Structure 1
Amino acid sequence: MSGSQLATWFLQASGNTGTFILLPCTGMPKKRQHLKPFKPAPTASPAPGSSSNAAGKTPRSVNELLASLRHASLDSSVPRQLPTVTPSVPPALREILQIPDTPTPAPRRQHRQRLDNNGRRLPAGPPPPRSWVATSGGATHLQGQASGSSTVNRCGLADSTLPGTYLPAPRSLIDIILRKIAADWDLHRVFNQYYLYYIPAHLKAALIRWVGIASPDGLSVQDLKLILLPSPESLEEVEDDGISEYHTSVNAEVNYLDLSGSLGRSLTLKEVSELLFPSKKQVDSSEPQESWDESEIIPSPPRVLLPNLTHLSLALDPQLASEASWRQLLALSSKLTTITHLSLAYWPDPSLTPRARLSTVTTPQGQNIAYGGTNYYSHSIDHDWSEALLVLRMLSRNLYALEFLDLTGCAPWFKALMLQSEHDFVDWVGSWGKVTLLRIHTGWTPGEDALPSEVIAYREAIDVATMVERYIRAARGGKGRIITVERNRIDP
């Protein structure tokens, strides 16, 4: 073993167990070895001449370099290379001297058009991506509604609104967001179903309108519940706090309901009636009371979902006008006593049995009688408007507070507004004496390639609208409110 470290092992025996333990024993620690510092080799010193030159010459700044370049460019001693100009020769001398023709100059670069189709100046920079310019599904759906054929230009539902209602300004941020939500409604109705109820009240009507027009599947009664009613979970929490369900489910600030394009496609008036006027559950009162002192429970009338509803749009899609039901409209109108603005655009002829127009019943005598009140030739050949006048009279009595009526696209039954069959007629002095604005547009205009029959039908509809305006003003005879009739005009 080395002298710096001694490994001595002691044998230690325990008295009873007989075990042995080997204990290492170390010696003194080693001395530290001090290393000498390393110094690099000295480098060769520069020449004495170079050091004096570097010290005497200072580097020039950037401004000095730029100034020297400017002086060099302005120096007249430096010759400039001017473009060579070949003299032109007349064609006659060119042929005699056999000089080759001068090459034609290169065509100028075509100037890029900086205006769009509408004459607006395009922004600077590259064109936008195609995905930004391409129309979405909702816009395509609106264009399909606006133009029905190549010969007839139809007015779309997006262009007709009720006066006195709030809608975001066109192409504003809120308007763009609502249209985008309506176009992607299949996504939002699932993932955002618990947040749609908390949309501000003044934007709910606009959202309902765009969902019915721009959504591919239209507006359903479940969609209305998502927007107008809170979720069942929140109702249970509120009921536990002792607050009635009426105060949580009523939208007192919503006074406009636009169902344009949804009726007959994804929504019925019966479903709307059950949603707006829910029937209250009847309490079983057959059980006897425990004492005579208890107060008898008196059933309260059912609550209304929209108590301040004044503007209602029931405009139909022109392609689905046959799906409307006047019977359901009469049942709903008896409850809409606060309606002041109503739109029945593109509704068919007033009839309680529209599907029975071609049905007949054979009498015992062998005669065929129309099953309903209106057959296929009632208005065109027989001039029988009795059923239409009956329906309109019942509707006018129910909606006695009406101030605005939109009948765009209802040209086939404009005559019923000024006819009378015994005691059935539209009372423009009594029931609808408050109507101050009547909109009776044809809903379509003949195109450039329209058939002569379409042009004649268009002119006849305008003539009937003119006669309706004169009839209403003559019926009021300067008494009551002044009425304004919006109709198409024929350019002279």
Structure 2
Amino acid sequence: MPKKRHQPKYSKPPSVASASLSLSSPRQSTSEHHDRSVNELLANLRRSTLSSQPVQASSSFSAATAPSVPPALRQILRLPEPPAPVSRRPQRRDPNGRRPPPGPPPPRSWVALSQSPHATPSSLQHDGTHSHIRYWSMPGVYAPTEGSLVDLIIRRIAFDWAQQRDWNRFYLYTLPSRLRSALLAHVSEIYSQGMSLMDLRLVLSGPSEDELGEYGLEPPDVNTLNSDFFYLDLKGSLGRSLTVKELHELLFGPRNAIVPADIIVQDSWDAPAPTAGPAELLPNLTHLSLAIDPGSTLSVSWKQLLSLAGKLTQLTQLSLAGWPEPSLTPNAKFAKVTSPTTGRSVQYSGTGPYSHVLDGDWTEAILILKRLSRVLYSLEYLDLTGCGDWTRALREDSDGEFRMDFVDWAGDWGKVTTLRLNSGYGLADNSSNAEILRFSDWIDEAIAVEKHIRAQRAGRGRWITVERDTLSETAQAIVEREKLARFHLVD
């Protein structure tokens, strides 16, 4: 059977409110609701809304909607002055004076993670009193992408290193080797106190055996743990919170380490050769940065560096940025002794206060660099940033007892393809002429070293690139003017 179709009783919904809504509204007659149209209800609602606003809001509303009148006509008609517009909210500015993007400011935690307490390399300038130099990263060293999650986490750990080294002391040495090398580089540069010997031992080998045994943990195998650890960046910490001697003892153990008696005599010729003393902490280390801050209170020792370099023959990249002139007795530069045979006073140190300036004697520096080149014969990259005062020793020669001493760039350091001789500073707009001339002398010396190395190799070694600074047009004009003035003064 066909379905029954019910016709609706009304063609549109009733305009009367439901019974539940009529309880809260004032009681009015049903006929009054039906007599009012929708337009009348809306008009009544507008009147009630405008009458309920305060006087100030109504006046501002009327002033905003009232047409403007020219000032001359307003004086003739004696109309009152219109109210002043409401002042806008002051614009937000960042510390550099620029307008930030629209929207609410970022949380403080985001800003704290993105800002670094140390100056970036591009902003470091030398104004005569600033002692910090610019550090260049060694090529090929792993570094997390700036602004990435790994970079933010490592920086956060470096900022709170005083707490992190205690809270996470049982987890830091379990990180991958490339993350540990990046962490050491950030802590050395960011942490105010620098990387200490205990911190370095904690990251590379973990806590002590007694502390691990207290929690039932076995000490890690150093050879397996650091087999893929290739980069060690200690820039800024060496000479401040860490010495070369401490680094030597950490990597290779103390010199007076007692060899156990049971490994002296071998039971069989087929047995592997025993290793005397403790195992090397970083057996495959190839990149080492020993850059220092020239303004640090502690000093570094070339004698200790030669002792350490003798056991790091596999190094391919080395940074000695900021190191002083090569000398085995730097503290005795001004000391003199009396000869028992002649009775005359002679210089105690190999380098005196006037050896380089007046005498042109670079004998001690050449001998030290020559010894360093003989043990580090695998070097391919050498960074001597901030060493412009003694880079002349790289191209000079001296008469020894029966031979000529010089740095052999064709044999010992014939593999070096990149030599960085930057000054580490930047000239400011208000730099004096003396600073500009000294800056120019460093550049000229770097050019002379590059020509000397290429002439010494003469096709026998690899092609070398010497990184150096450049002068602006204004600074170059000042240098030429000063040189011309000196030339006329000599004539």
**Common fold by TM > 0.5:** yes
| Residue 103 of structure 2 corresponds to residue 125 of structure 1 | yes
1:425-468: CA deviations, max 9, x gaps?
11111011101111100111232332322221111111111111
Aligned counterpart for 2:386 among listed residues 392, 409, 431: 409
**Cα RMSD (Å) of the superposition?**
4.3
Q: What aligned pairs does 1:349-428 form with structure 2 within 5 A after superposition?
A: 349-364=325-340, 365-422=342-399, 423-428=404-409
Corresponding residue number in structure 1 for 2:238: 263
1:26-50: CA deviations, max 9, x gaps?
xxxxxxxxxxxxxxxxxxxxxxxxx
Q: Comparing both structures, which one devotes a greater share of its residues to helix?
A: 2
Distance (whole Å) between structure 2 residues aligned to residue 252 and residue 240 of structure 1? 21
- The alignment of Structure 1 onto Structure 2 pairs a total of residues equal to 421
Where in structure 2 are there 5+ consecutive unaligned residues? 1-28, 47-61, 474-491
Q: Residue type matched to 2:259 in 1?
A: Q
Does the Cα contact within 8 Å between 1:389 and 1:424 map onto a contact in 2? yes
Does the Cα contact within 8 Å between 2:132 and 2:295 map onto a contact in 1? no
Distance (whole Å) between structure 1 residues aligned to residue 433 and residue 441 of structure 2? 12
Does the Cα contact within 8 Å between 1:152 and 1:444 map onto a contact in 2? no
Aligned counterpart for 1:432 among listed residues 399, 413, 419: 413
Aligned counterpart for 1:443 among listed residues 424, 431, 435: 424
Distance (whole Å) between structure 1 residues aligned to residue 86 and residue 123 of structure 2? 44
Of structures 1 and 2, the larger Rg is shown by 1
Task: Quickly say closer, same or farther: Cα 1:239–1:83, change in 2 above 3 A.
Answer: closer
Distance (whole Å) between structure 2 residues aligned to residue 108 and residue 414 of structure 1? 67
Corresponding residue number in structure 1 for 2:198: 222
Does the Cα contact within 8 Å between 1:154 and 1:445 map onto a contact in 2? no
Distance (whole Å) between structure 2 residues aligned to residue 419 and residue 238 of structure 1? 59
State the identity as a percent: 43
Distance (whole Å) between structure 1 residues aligned to residue 98 and residue 70 of structure 2? 46
Does the Cα contact within 8 Å between 2:362 and 2:398 map onto a contact in 1? yes
1:126-160: CA deviations, max 9, x gaps?
44577875799x94455799758645666645x42
Task: Quickly say closer, same or farther: Cα 1:125–1:419, change in 2 above 3 A.
Answer: same
Q: Residue type matched to 2:102 in 1?
A: A
| Residue 426 of structure 2 corresponds to residue 452 of structure 1 | no
Under a length normalisation based on structure 1, what TM-score does the superposition of the two structures give? Answer: 0.73
Where in structure 1 are there 5+ consecutive unaligned residues? 1-52, 74-80
| Residue 164 of structure 2 corresponds to residue 181 of structure 1 | no
Does the Cα contact within 8 Å between 2:417 and 2:462 map onto a contact in 1? yes
Corresponding residue number in structure 2 for 1:254: 229
Tell me the secondary structure at the aligned position of residue 318 of structure 2: strand
Does the Cα contact within 8 Å between 1:270 and 1:328 map onto a contact in 2? yes
Aligned counterpart for 1:330 among listed residues 306, 325, 331: 306
Corresponding residue number in structure 1 for 2:458: 477
Corresponding residue number in structure 2 for 1:89: 72
Corresponding residue number in structure 1 for 2:251: 276
Tell me the secondary structure at the aligned position of residue 295 of structure 2: helix
Distance (whole Å) between structure 2 residues aligned to residue 227 and residue 334 of structure 1? 24
Under a length normalisation based on structure 2, what TM-score does the superposition of the two structures give? Answer: 0.73
Does the Cα contact within 8 Å between 1:264 and 1:323 map onto a contact in 2? yes
Distance (whole Å) between structure 2 residues aligned to residue 70 and residue 104 of structure 1? 29
Q: Residue type matched to 2:441 in 1?
A: E
Does the Cα contact within 8 Å between 1:151 and 1:448 map onto a contact in 2? no
Q: Residue type matched to 2:179 in 1?
A: L
| Residue 141 of structure 2 corresponds to residue 165 of structure 1 | yes
Corresponding residue number in structure 1 for 2:22: none
Distance (whole Å) between structure 2 residues aligned to residue 90 and residue 413 of structure 1? 83
Shift in Å at residue 116 of structure 1? 4.3
